[in-house]
Structure 1
Amino acid sequence: MIEFALAVFFLLITPGPGVLTTAGIGAAFGFRAGLGFMTGLCLGGFVTMMMVITGMAAVILAVPWLRLALLFTSVAYLTYLAWRVASAGAQVGFIAAKVPLGFFNGFALQFINPKAYVVATTLFSGFAFMPAHPVGEVIAKLIIFNAIWIPVHLIWLGAGVKLHALNLSQRTQRIINIGMAAAMLAVVGIALFAVR
């Protein structure tokens, strides 16, 4: 169970579209605006996990043209987000938006977020700690996952809010942008590698 909790923590703390967008909303619009998006992410993540656990995701992804369409949609969207972050210039630009992304955007993002499927598949197909009680194990994993997921996303949201308040040099802001864009492209790379 400890190994599972550690895996959850390290898989979730790494930048992906959800946490980067959450931080961006915090930086641009404040903590309260980010909570609606985060709630959508949480519910969308739960539905995505249920799709993986029940095998529905495997059935959907077994349709070659649909799998390819979803892959290209995901890769295109994540590459676009990485470009927006990297090209934000000297302003820390997690993800620029004129209006805060709300609940629906957070919910919808999870369905095209390859990291959500990779994380769910990794966590729920491995780390067996109750092999005699698979349903109990799934419930325990969901509780542990959310007990880590919610604070991690709140930390990212708070980091975005705090980063907005800092007066960073232009060079530091550019380095942050490039680092975040590289993290987003790493998610794209994982998605492409997973289909080989």
Structure 2
Amino acid sequence: MNLMISMAAFALAASISPGPVNVVALSSGAQFGLGASLRHVLGATVGFVVLLIFTGFGLHEMLRQYPVLTDLIRWAGMAFLIYLAWKLAMDDGRLNLDKPTHAPSFWHGAAMQWLNPKAWLAAVAGMGAFVADGEARLIGLFALIYFVVCYLSVGCWAYAGAFFGPWLRSPRRIRLFNRSMSALLAGCAVSLLYV
């Protein structure tokens, strides 16, 4: 039981802390509401759990043998975060009712996790701490616990965005919100320089 509590605590600390996936969930919740944002939440959760399972079954060993792959993942993730930050910063905040806009999709959420260096670090650290020997039963248990905790954590960010969404009804407030989210994403990208 202590192992399960430790796994859950690790998953909560890694999943609820600010990061690019959570910032996108917050922004999506504010723009599109909670219901539409749950596709992103589910995609991010599934994407991370698949990464976690692959890591548990040996991907971390490959990354240890070829550290250049870790650097490549980090730089690709930074570039992706900077791109997302730029897109948010350039948004003019006008609500264009003629142009259909969509909340981030399931696949967007899943892909974000694979491009998210924070997710890679959490997967490698978590598997190293709890399932270093690669035991399939423990990998499955950790993945199940992580699925529940990750879904609820990212969902909380989407809910927070939906809660504040009604406040964001003017272009000025939307610009302020988007630029704040842009700064958070850029900060996440810059923090990766020191990992």
- TM-score under structure 1 length normalisation: 0.74
CA deviation map 1:57-109 (0-9, x unaligned) = 54267556654443322111112333445666889xxxxx9332212211211
Show the counterpart of 2:193: 192
Percent of aligned positions that are identical: 24
**In structure 2, do the counterparts of structure 1 residues 3 and 56 end up closer, same or farther at CA, with 3 Å as the change threshold?**
closer
Which of the residues 69, 81, 85 maps onto 1:82? 85
**In structure 2, do the counterparts of structure 1 residues 4 and 69 end up closer, same or farther at CA, with 3 Å as the change threshold?**
closer
User: Match of 1:55, SS?
Assistant: helix
CA deviation map 1:145-192 (0-9, x unaligned) = 122111112211111111111369979x84x66664454345334533
Does residue 162 (structure 1) correspond to residue 145 (structure 2)? The answer is: no
Show the counterpart of 1:49: 52
Does residue 23 (structure 1) correspond to residue 26 (structure 2)? The answer is: yes
Cα RMSD of the aligned pairs, angstroms, is 3.4
Deviation larger for 66-75 or 47-56: 66-75
User: Match of 2:109, SS?
Assistant: helix
Rounded to whole Å, the distance in 2 between the matches of 1:38 and 1:105 is: 10
Task: Name the amino acid aligned to 2:161.
Answer: G
User: Match of 2:36, SS?
Assistant: helix
Show the counterpart of 1:94: none
Show the counterpart of 2:97: none
Show the counterpart of 2:74: 71
Q: Which runs of 5+ in 1 are unaligned?
A: 92-96
Task: Name the amino acid aligned to 1:81.
Answer: L
- Residue 45 of structure 1 and its aligned partner are, at CA, apart by 1.0
**In structure 2, do the counterparts of structure 1 residues 37 and 191 end up closer, same or farther at CA, with 3 Å as the change threshold?**
same
Which of the residues 123, 126, 150 maps onto 2:126? 123
